[in-house]
């Protein structure tokens, strides 16, 4: 049976993150994942997770100063100290809630060697911090339509970074929405990079809504990635067209097959 994680950065936004955890359990999700849960005490989040017995697939490092255009910090050469503070913050939070992964956000910067070296050095710092704690690192290529100037945009680029840092520790977050917009050929690209993939996310293309319409046919894609050898949970990271509950027919269809 296919398993899905509710991304509480986008689902049940009308509720607090804590109330959204209970909603995720009520409506049949197998796990949750967060974007930026830091406004809530990690112990309160953990209490709710324990009550519903749902694992956490991941949290993000902070974006930085959003008003100034920040979208992550780890590849920005002038922000190394802040980037490492963000890594430590995510690590301390992830330890408490037992998150399986930390999404290390690269940020807006040029494609220079200096940016690449900064990203790799910060990922190595994170790798050392996470060592022996059972928490993985993931990096995610984001599409340039929604994330202009983002450093990491291609799956192949992410694979090279994984290899440079150590692919046993850092993996790719393969979001079919972002990959389709930036590159296309998503199933082949997924299969070609499967050993490097640490987590999967889905949404419709182009509107990033429920994964039951648009350019990608997930009724084909999801069985195909499991056949290829993907064994983990699929993250539902989309913007509901109406209420989250009203749009969950897509998941019921998968669970009933």
Catalytic positions are 140, 237
Q: How many CB atoms lie within 10 A of CB 214?
A: 17
CA–CA gap between residue 253 and residue 251 (Å, rounded): 5
């Amino acid at each position: 049976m296919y398993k899905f994680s509710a991304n509480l950065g986008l689902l049940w936004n009308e509720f607090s993150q804590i109330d959204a955890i209970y909603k995720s359990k009520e409506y049949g999700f197998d796990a949750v994942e967060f974007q930026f849960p830091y406004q809530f005490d990690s112990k309160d989040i953990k209490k709710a997770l324990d009550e519903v017995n749902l694992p956490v697939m991941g949290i993000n490092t902070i974006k930085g100063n959003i008003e100034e255009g920040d979208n992550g910090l780890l590849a920005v050469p002038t922000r190394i100290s802040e980037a490492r503070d963000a890594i430590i913050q995510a690590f301390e939070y992830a330890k408490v809630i037992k998150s399986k992964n930390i999404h290390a956000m690269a940020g807006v910067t040029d494609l220079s060697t200096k940016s690449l070296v900064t990203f790799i050095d910060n990922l190595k710092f994170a790798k050392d911090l996470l060592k022996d704690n059972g928490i993985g690192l993931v990096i995610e290529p984001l599409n340039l339509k929604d994330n202009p100037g983002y450093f990491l945009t291609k799956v192949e680029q992410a694979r090279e970074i994984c290899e440079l840092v150590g692919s046993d520790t850092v993996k790719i977050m393969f979001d079919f929405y972002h990959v389709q917009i930036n590159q296309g050929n998503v199933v082949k690209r997924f299969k070609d990079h499967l050993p490097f993939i640490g987590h999967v996310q889905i949404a419709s293309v182009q509107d990033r809504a429920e994964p039951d319409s648009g350019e990608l046919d997930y009724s084909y894609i999801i069985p195909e990635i499991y056949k290829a050898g993907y064994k983990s949970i699929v993250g539902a990271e989309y913007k509901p067209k109406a209420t989250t509950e009203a749009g969950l027919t897509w998941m019921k269809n998968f669970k009933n097959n």
